[in-house]
Amino acid sequence: MPLIEKGRITEDRFHRVSDDDALPEGAPVLVGVDRFLKEAEALKSRQAPVGVIWPNDRPIAEIEPYLGQLSLIALVFPSFRDGRAYSQARLLRERLGWSGPLRAVGNVLRDQFLLMQRSGFDQIEAIKEDDAKAFDEAVHRYSTFYQPATDERPSLLRQRLGRTARPE
């Protein structure tokens, strides 16, 4: 699957490794949550970046003690109708202070690209190659938003308050 990062198709440098496979030496790996939690201490001393695939049915607060040893967090969208990963992304960014790469994986559709970006995702595992063009169109389609989000674009209220605020 193509990986969209900052609106462009990019090479995925992380190797997805199943629970039973050996970890490639010196290469960035992306492992499932069960393997990560079971081998957290051993992975801490690894000389290459480690990422985790975090399911949306697991409390995101459980990841907090491990944030310092992670280079990537991938949140799972098992169905396009299941939006729990959006909430996890916002919690990671706003409450837990995660500033590293945040990837959307699973059933990711073009219609969701803008909301994913606004929720804090900076990488999206897309289904099709031409999704990168659709991503660029989606994130530039609107210039004003009612809701505040993690993407730091001011909401309409913040824009209005900024214009009407008087200097002290």
Structural domain boundaries enclosing 22: 3-142
The stretch 79-101 carries a mean pLDDT of 93
Of 129 and 42, the one with more pLDDT: 42
> Considering its fold, how many domains does the chain have in total?
1
Q: Is residue 75 a part of any domain in this protein?
A: yes
Structure-model confidence comparison of residues 113 and 137, the more confident one: 113
Per DSSP, the chain holds a count of helices (H) and strands (E) of: 6, 8
Backbone angles phi, psi at 103, to 5 degrees: -115, 135
Report d(CA 123, CA 67) in Å as an integer: 18
CA torsion sign for 83, 125, 5, 44 is: positive
- Domain annotation covers residue 151: no
pTM here?
A: 0.81
Within a domain: 161: no
Does some domain include residue 162? no
CATH of the domain at 105: 3.20.20.70
Residue 146 has pLDDT above 60, yes or no: no
Mean pLDDT of the chain: 84
| Residue 112 in domain | yes
Q: Is the CB of residue 140 less than 8 Å from the CB of residue 15?
A: no
pLDDT > 70: what percent of the chain? 80
Task: Specify if 113 maps to a domain.
Answer: yes
Give residue 145's pLDDT band: very low, low, confident or very high (50, 70, 90). Answer: low
The answer as to whether 147 is a domain residue is no
Residue 168 is assigned to a structural domain of this protein: no
The share of the chain scoring above pLDDT 90, in percent, equals 52
The pLDDT, as a whole number, for residue 166 is 47
Mean predicted confidence (pLDDT) in 53-71 = 95
Contacts of 111 (CB under 8 A, 6+ apart): 80
The per-residue pLDDT for 56 is 93
